[in-house]
Amino acid sequence: MAARWWRRCLRGLCGAALFLSQLSVLSGRAGSLMTTKLSQPQSTLAKSLTSTSTNAPYFKALESTEIPPYVTNCPSNGLCSRLPPDCMTCNTNYSCIYGKMATFDCKVKPHVHCVDENNQEQENFTINMTCQFCWQLATSDYVCTNSTNCMTVSCPRQRYNATCTVRDHIHCLGNRVFPKMLYCNWTGGYKWSTALALSITLGGFGADRFYLGQWREGLGKLFSFGGLGIWTLIDVLLIGVGYVGPADGSLYI
């Protein structure tokens, strides 16, 4: 009887172990199914992100189709060699000799259309220009800002920091906008001939000093009758040689 009871207990334990093993297998399958389902949205999101990133060049391409502002200064279907410098990109010729004419290989910028001498559209061409930097050009080849804060009549003559820009039809090396120290050369509209004429005729009453904006000196000459004539003669000489100028420090015209 005891042996039979032990056999039944062993069979019961074996059945319970088999049931637990099957239950663990089923729970493992369910967990894998859940992880698979959860991973599907992530993969879909990754695909959407990948597709979005591949569309980025497309948007960049759309942005690049916008016409740049320099195109308005570039004549259409004209000779490539006569285009303004802002319409082309040229390679530096390192073998050129300063001050001598040299040949440079150039290419038109995007959205710029030009032709050669045979009226054939081209992109690559050559131009001839003097081998020199933009800041080495003649003063007539660039335009600079003026200053109205420095004195033109001083010793030594004052300078000011100017920003210069090369003219559109001039080709040169380097930056086309550059700083440069220039002498004060602005004018307030005063004429040297008018100041000299007033000094000779009405200098005894201080008319020349009043005209130049020097009110204190003008009042001094007026009430002293031109320094009894001595001050009048001195002013005629000083204005004649240009030593006495406008009170604002500008040049005569």
Q: What pLDDT does 117 receive?
A: 86
Look at residue 52 and tell me if it is in a domain.
no
Name the domain count of the chain.
3
Instruction: Give the residue, 3 or 102, on which the prediction is more confident.
Output: 102
Pair 178, 203 in one domain = no
166 is a domain residue: yes
pLDDT value, residue 106: 92
| 191-207 pLDDT, tens digit each | 889 999 999 999 899 99
C-alpha neighbours within 13 Å on the C-beta side of residue 94 = 0
Residue 51 lies in a domain: no
Q: Which two tokens stand for residue 137?
A: 């050009």
Residue 248 buriedness (CB in 10 A; 0-12 / 13-18 / 19+): middle
pLDDT digits (tens, 9 = 90+) for 58-70: 444 444 567 788 8
Residue 10 has pLDDT above 80, yes or no: no
pLDDT higher than threshold 90 for residue 118? no
Residue 108 has pLDDT above 50, yes or no: yes
Asked if residue 19 belongs to a domain, the reply is no
Decide if pLDDT at 186 tops 50: yes
Handedness of CA 58, 63, 68, 72 (dihedral sign): positive
Domain that includes residue 235, residue range: 192-241
**Residue at 31 is within a domain:** no
Mean pLDDT of 119-130: 90
- What is the pLDDT, as a whole number, of residue 237? 94
126 within domain boundaries: yes
What is the per-residue pLDDT for 200? 92
179 shares its domain with 217: no
215 located within any domain: yes
Half-sphere exposure of 70 toward its Cβ, with a 13 Å CA cutoff?
14
User: Do 127 and 151 share a domain, yes or no?
Assistant: no
The overall average pLDDT reported for the chain is 78
Residue bearing the bigger pLDDT, 240 or 75: 240
Residue 249 domain-assigned (yes or no): no
Rounded to two decimals, the pTM is 0.53
Average pLDDT over residues 150-175: 85
pLDDT of res. 24:
56
